[in-house]
A and B are shown apart, each in its own frame.
Chain A
């Protein structure tokens, strides 16, 4: 990671991204590099804005989080859709 000044996080989303992302599969973790000072909302706006209304639950490191939650190096973001039956 020489020369990289951001942070690395893992995203696992059951909501599809705006457009195809290489290596992304629904429900499978994907490691991404982000710039510093990023919130969950920033990530959603950038990658999942098109399907924002489908996002029901946000978690960071296994705990409920919000769009305002700030991200740190190594965080795991989980995005779940609005919960149905099953």
Chain B
């Protein structure tokens, strides 16, 4: 790494070849860190350079990349997270997700910035990392275990209750296409099916313990930001009271609460399924992540009629809506049980919920019958049927076998117009935000390389009422735009605001901690010692987005895949929100491409690759 001292990183990337049982460590040049920063940036570079095009996502040639950011493991609230990526078995595209908890911080303290897992093991193994020492251990006895059981078994056999784990459950082992990876049981990398990639490699877990302190360039400056947040967060966000989902009644009023498989944007029984309703009746405690005072995660316990184990936490907004309003269900106990089943077996609550709502609509419209469902009356609002179907998905039996492939594949199999009811983009089910209200989010859902990821999306509704210009003006956003507007200036908003939102996945910090933009810039400077500007930060995000886009182009994705589900082009069944205009979307999408320096087919131009200093990536673009 030359003479320059690297702060904020370890300068070490761990590489594990499971086929050969080989463990190696790489020490990238400092330019690697400066150019890509971390998280999704590391994932994008690694996948594009190392994963051959056209491979089976569940085959040995896929690679699973765990990546941290410069702030990971620092004392900054929201810095315990990690990113993980691979070619997605659900979409066949660039796949990436993030998880909170402590595991990311622990890996940084154990001496690594990233882990690249390649090849498939012949038998179940788990990886143990302790302060720079790495070994592969047999996991035959863990295979088949639910997530909490595997976590505690690992801690017990290592005789260390400070071990942090990233684990797959039976969902990942059974290669369910929307399987998850859980950090310490209840902090979940949920989207794009990366648990199935881990399962295909027969890697049950990565157990980590680290005790080193992160070297920072200006630690006092970072501590100051952390202290400010600890003193002020309660005035800046309400999420610490109940966790996400505390604004669901507002979402419903606005038309942003998906209901009945996105037929509606509001739910007349919303007050029964809010985070407040859950907390008031079932909350055991609030808990949190590494170094974070917000403690915004709820732990719930229910005894009857469904036993819900508090070890698996409690449902966040996405889960409350996916199994609640979007399935027409107001039975909050059943929703909590569905959450617990997903975390117990390791599958994504959003994809599971939307795939079940898809099946419910198919049933109501006669495309699935009781003969297909083994007698299940799969109507909207039937909580018992929802839970039974969810069990069938986790066990890959009955109609659950088909639905475990996700709504896109299931719709193709069912046929007869079922594809119209599959609310997905590139195979990834939409999260619980309605693009008919947030049309900029809709554009993001269409064009985002990893599919409709709400966490990196813009939320138009934040900028409808004279944004706090001193805050947004810092990245040159100086006007309020109606959330339902889809226009050239909305494309600009998705580009500018979107790159800033994407940035959290490169720094790998939590979007729920209410940092100002200046605090984020100052935090990165304090940790790394590098001069940092908004321009440089946003260009880093754009660099990663462009590399992920090239990954998708190489896999055969085109502009035709950057669209929204048919459902979103129709008006909400009740309420005032019209469907997204597909012609406008197409026009605005082309503008957005051009803002990114892509041509109208979404292919990055050489000029922009040069400008982003990733000219090397041009060799991965197939001339069409």
Contacts and interface: CB of A to CB of B under 8 A. Distances in A.
B461 A86 contact: no
Contacts of A59: 249-250, 253
Interface string B11-26: 0000000000000000
| Chain B interface bracket (under 10, 10 to 19, 20 to 34, 35 or more) | 20 to 34
A85 B511 contact: yes
A29 to B, nearest CB: 11
Contact of B318 (A14, A82, A86): A86
Contacts of B245: 86
B247 A82 contact: no
Contacts of A21: none
A83 B238 contact: no
A56 interface: yes
A80 B253 CA distance: 10
A82 B461 contact: yes
Nearest to B501: A85
Given A56-B465, A82-B461, A27 B251 contact: no
B356 to A, nearest CB: 20
Contacts of B466: 53
B186 interface: no
A19 to B, nearest CB: 12
Interface string B232-255: 000100100110111101110110
Contact of B461 (A16, A56, A62, A78): A56
Contacts of A53: 465-468
Contacts of A57: 250, 253-254
A83 B235 contact: no
Contacts of A85: 433, 454-455, 457, 459, 511
Most A C-beta atoms less than 10 A away, residue of B238, B242, B433, B457: B238
A59 B468 CA distance: 23
A53 B469 CA distance: 11
B465 A86 contact: no
B250 A26 contact: no
B376 to A, nearest CB: 31
A14 to B, nearest CB: 5
Interface string B443-470: 0000000000011010101111111100
A22 interface: no
A83 B461 contact: yes
Contacts of B251: 83
Contacts of B235: 16
Contact of A26 (B238, B256, B457, B468): B238
A66 to B, nearest CB: 13
Contact of B317 (A14, A26, A62, A86): A86
Nearest to B316: A86
B249 A78 contact: yes
A16 B455 CA distance: 25
A80 B459 contact: no
B241 A80 contact: no
A56 to B, nearest CB: 6
A84 interface: yes
B267 to A, nearest CB: 12
Most B C-beta atoms less than 10 A away, residue of A62, A78, A83: A83
Contacts of A63: 253
Given A14-B238, A80-B247, A56 B454 contact: no
Contacts of B244: 86
A86 B462 CA distance: 13
A70 interface: no
Contacts of A41: none
Contacts of B463: 82
B98 to A, nearest CB: 13
B276 interface: yes
Most A C-beta atoms less than 10 A away, residue of B276, B461, B468: B461
A27 B463 CA distance: 22
Nearest to B455: A85
B464 to A, nearest CB: 7
A78 B246 CA distance: 13
Contacts of B238: 14, 26-27, 81
Contacts of A56: 250, 254, 461, 464-465
A10 B238 CA distance: 20
Nearest to A57: B250
A44 interface: no
B455 A14 contact: no
B461 A64 contact: no
B256 A83 contact: yes
A38 interface: no
Nearest to B276: A27
A43 interface: no
Contact of B247 (A16, A55, A62, A81): A81
B455 A27 contact: no
Interface string A48-86: 000001011101001110000000000000101111111
B246 A82 contact: no
A26 B233 CA distance: 13
Nearest to B460: A83
Contacts of A84: 459, 461-462
Contacts of A83: 247, 250-251, 254, 256, 459, 461-462
Interface of A: 14, 16, 26-27, 53, 55-57, 59, 62-64, 78, 80-86
Going nearest first, the 9 A-B pairs with the smallest beta carbon separation are: A80-B250, A86-B317, A86-B244, A83-B461, A82-B462, A57-B250, A26-B238, A84-B459, A85-B459
11 contacts: A53-B467, A56-B461, A82-B461, A82-B462, A83-B247, A83-B462, A84-B459, A85-B433, A85-B455, A85-B457, A86-B247
